[in-house]
Amino acid sequence: MNAKVSATIVSPETKTWTDYSTGIAWKTVALFVGVSVAYISMIVAIYLEAMSLLEGMVLATVLIYLGFTVVHEAGHGNIAHEVTWMKPIERFMGWVMTLLFFIMPFGLFAKIHDYHHAFTNDPDRDPDHWVSGDTWLQASLRAPTLALNYLYLTMTRFKDDPVITKTHMSSMIYFVVTGSISMGLILSGFALEFLVVGVIPIFLASYILGMLFDWIPHMPTRQQGRYQNTRSYLFPGLKYLTMGQSYHHIHHLYPRVSWFNYQRVFDLIRPELEAKNAPIEALFSNKLPRFGLSKNAREPSSIDGIHKLTLNVQKIHQETADAVAISFKNLDKPLPFKAGQYITITKLLNGEAITRCYSICESPNVGELTVGVKRVEGGLLSTYLNNDLNVGDELTVTGPFGSFYFDPKQSTDIDLVTLIAGGSGITPNLAIAKTALNECPSTLVHLIYANRSITDLMFLNQLNQLLSDYPDRFTVTNIFEKSHGSWTGETGYLTEEKLINMLAEQGEPENGQYFICGPTVMKDIVVSTLEGLNIGSDRIFVEEFGQSAPKAEGPLHKVNIHLANGSSHELSVAENQTVLQVATQEGIKIPHACGVGQCGCCMMQVTAGDSELAVEETPGLLPGEQANGLTLACQCRPKSALSLKEDITLR
């Protein structure tokens, strides 16, 4: 008799990074115990003269280096993860290990390090950007003093930061303890031992940590994109020497993954990393780029075409009394863009990150990134760029952006390109003029340029050069609000009548395009006039800058927020908005850093109501923490009336 046997094959569930971010990290606990026992044993051995001071210095350096991983993991909440009862023990372990550093309180480190994750390679907001430089020597001179730089930033840039100020009391207690230990050792006659075994190893270990955790993973520190701002570098056994930091992508993409699981998660998401142009290198390989040579780390490499970079200012040219042209030093390859597009520039001013849009004024084929910046009355960033910026300074540059551009490959049959600019609106139009004249030999270009006076005319030398180079194809019609000297051309404001007359002089091309950039009033007049001349909207291109916060859509819910400083606030938040977005609009300062769910600085307890996350898979909040009623203000969208409480003991 034959029996038919059936079996159901169950496919193993696909793992994600969250599977390596749960439960107590017992390997880190064991590391803490091992370092603690070894350090105490070393002190006893030196006291009994069973170990020389030189041997003690070397061993202390190794132990401080290893102990930092405990501090680092505790700072990210990666020892306890979602296990609530383990949280106090985790913090205790972090505080004990920072005693080995004498000058770096655990609470302060944990919070200031979050800014490194939130703003990696940002020259203003990344505290670890101190350990930067194009060469090993430059970084080596700074790495030993990274902890001192943290303290300096605490007293300067972060002195009023609500995230950092919450750590001041614990830092004071820490310095009382470490200061008492230091003074006690010196007064007891152990000054030499304290110097050789206590102080010197701190700077030696700091050098190693600064290089392995900062410079090596991030150099040349020019990329700020999520997949390009760090690297993974492979070699058998290297993960043990670097405590997992050779897989630095994992630590930055998923900072809640424990260090001993970095390789597992790297293997899991490696196809994604490769697809996203993440720099993956090897010390010795014929298949991967050699260490430090991946083009994805050294040139604009974002696959979505939007690059976030740290660029040095290469040249500043004074165009008018209140306008400059700023040129940036390229990475190994220039930033790709189309004629007419813009970038954003970000600079930390008066404790606030200011971002503004500035159009590119060069043709893409020149290989140079140059923007025009006109000083705006009351404008913080434009005033800084005009008055205080120096050659060699670093700025955060993002882009290119904008659908206002001229593509010569799609415009080969264009008879005439009409550019209508007002004031600094010449900037993108200059790039379009250069590109059309250079790459479309049969295309005519007519620039109508409105300014207050001749002294406000930007790029005068370049326009004159174009008139000289292309006398039969390029014409300029100026109109000045104020008449001057021998000027016999148009004066006053650009009106519909004047514009019609200017356009009549060029004739009506069978196939023309119109590019408009300038003040809103001028743009409205120009568009209305062109529409009145029956020029199709598909031939009219208008530059529009800026992005607005999401408008309220769906039901509004009352959100009560109770901050750790004792203040309470009530907001009305729509279901498509986050609590942090609305709080920021209302001028309410909720402690936060990245604003995108990476760092966890804005973690809050939901005490009443329902909410959802804007992005479901958020590295700054583990599923277990979410199950325990925690959320992030930057990701929290209310689904009902909601009450949130900030609790400084959450992380």
Q: What is the pLDDT of residue 197?
A: 97
Q: Minimal CA–CA distance to 592: which of 556, 636, 550? A: 636
Q: What is the pLDDT of residue 605?
A: 93
507: amino acid identity, one letter: G
pLDDT per residue over 468-498, tens digit each? 999 999 999 999 988 777 787 888 899 999 9
The confidence band for 403, taking pLDDT boundaries of 50, 70 and 90, is confident
d(CA 390, CA 314): 9
Same domain as 321, residue 427: no
Q: What is the pLDDT of residue 545?
A: 62
Same domain as 564, residue 586: yes
480: amino acid identity, one letter: F
Same domain as 181, residue 165: yes
CA distances from 431 to 339, 566, 650 (A): 5, 53, 52
Q: At what angle do helices 460-469 and 426-439 cross, to 10 degrees?
A: 20
Q: Has residue 196 been placed in a domain?
A: yes
Q: Has residue 651 been placed in a domain?
A: no
Check pLDDT > 60 for residue 277: yes
d(CA 71, CA 74): 5
CA distances from 206 to 215, 466, 518, 523, 542 (A): 12, 56, 52, 57, 53
Check pLDDT > 80 for residue 3: no
Same domain as 262, residue 289: yes
Q: Has residue 11 been placed in a domain?
A: no
The confidence band for 233, taking pLDDT boundaries of 50, 70 and 90, is very high
pLDDT per residue over 453-464, tens digit each? 988 999 999 999
Q: Which 3 state secondary structure label does DSSP give 433?
A: helix
**Left, alpha or beta for 121 (phi > 0: left; psi -120 to 50: alpha)?**
left
Check pLDDT > 80 for residue 6: no
Return the percentage of the chain with pLDDT > 90, whole number.
75
Paired with 232 in beta bridges are: 247, 280
Check pLDDT > 60 for residue 651: no
Check pLDDT > 70 for residue 549: no
Check pLDDT > 70 for residue 11: no
Q: Has residue 317 been placed in a domain?
A: yes
Check pLDDT > 60 for residue 126: yes
Domain that holds residue 103: 19-221
Same domain as 360, residue 376: yes
Q: What is the pLDDT of residue 594?
A: 67
Question: Mean per-residue pLDDT for 439-448?
Answer: 93
Query: Of 328-342, 361-375, 591-605, which gets the smallest average pLDDT?
Result: 591-605
Contact in structure between 599 and 114 (CB atoms under 8 Å)? yes
DSSP character string of 300-316 = ---TTS-EEEEEEEEEE
Check pLDDT > 70 for residue 36: yes
What's the DSSP call for residue 511? Answer: S
Q: What is the pLDDT of residue 2?
A: 45
Check pLDDT > 60 for residue 427: yes
Check pLDDT > 70 for residue 78: yes
Q: What is the pLDDT of residue 600?
A: 75
pLDDT per residue over 180-227, tens digit each? 999 999 999 999 999 999 999 999 999 999 999 999 999 988 999 989
- Residue that finishes a domain, picked among 194, 221, 248: 221
Same domain as 641, residue 529: no
Q: What is the pLDDT of residue 511?
A: 75
Which CATH number fits the domain that encloses residue 521? 3.40.50.80
The torsion angles phi and psi of 491, rounded to 5 degrees, stand at: -135, 165
The sign of the dihedral angle between the CA atoms of 430, 435, 437, 442 is negative
Q: What is the mean pLDDT of the chain?
A: 91
CA distances from 28 to 70, 411, 609 (A): 6, 62, 36
Same domain as 209, residue 321: no
The sign of the dihedral angle between the CA atoms of 528, 534, 538, 539 is negative
Same domain as 463, residue 380: no
Contact in structure between 227 and 233 (CB atoms under 8 Å)? no
Check pLDDT > 90 for residue 551: no
90: amino acid identity, one letter: E
Return the percentage of the chain with pLDDT > 70, whole number.
95
Token pair for 326: 């700023």
CA distances from 451 to 221, 521, 634 (A): 41, 14, 43
The confidence band for 10, taking pLDDT boundaries of 50, 70 and 90, is very low
